[in-house]
Every structure is written in structure tokens, then in C-alpha cells.
Amino acid sequence: MNFTHAVAQAWEAGKLFHIDLNDQAFGRYDQDLRFGAVNLKSAFFLVKFLEEVGYTGSRHFDAHAYRTEDIQGVKDFARVVCART
């Protein structure tokens, strides 16, 4: 089962109230990479699913800026996250 299937199962059970949108490399835990950074195809199908079922709950981008030199770097990271979704 992939993540989109797990989300679909939660939706079908009526238990999808909130979703964190981020990405991570397989085999690692809680990396909080930018949504679609590792697997853009998986990110696309997750958003497609949420749109098709009419999900209106909260969507939270749970990602951390990679390496930033200052506050402007954090703002640049956030701008890219928002532009990709």
C-alpha cells in the first residue's frame, strides 16, 4: 500500500480530517522534505485524489527549509512550496 492508498482508506472510513503534505525518501522517518521533492508523481496522485473526492479539510505543508543562510532563505523556501501546489 502506498501513501495515497492509506489516505483513501482513511477517507473511506470517514476519518480524514487533516493532512500534512510533505515528502520523504523511502526508508527514512519524518524527514519533512518539500512536498513533491522526492516523488512528484506520488504527490500529483495524492492531490488528484483529494480534489476528486471533494476533500475540504485542512491541508498543512509540514516541511522544513533545507539549508538557509537567513530569514530570507526561509521565505524563499516557503514561496517555492506554495508555488508547487
- pTM, entire model: 0.70
Q: How confident is the model at residue 33 (pLDDT cuts 50, 70, 90)?
A: confident
Distance of CA 25 to the CA centre of its chain: 13
pLDDT digits (tens, 9 = 90+) for 44-83: 999 999 999 999 998 877 766 667 678 888 788 777 766 6
**Which of 10-14, 32-36, 61-65, 67-71 is the most confident on average?**
10-14
Does position 1 have pLDDT exceeding 90, yes or no? no
44-to-13, 35, 47, 51, 79 alpha-carbon distances in Å: 22, 10, 5, 11, 19
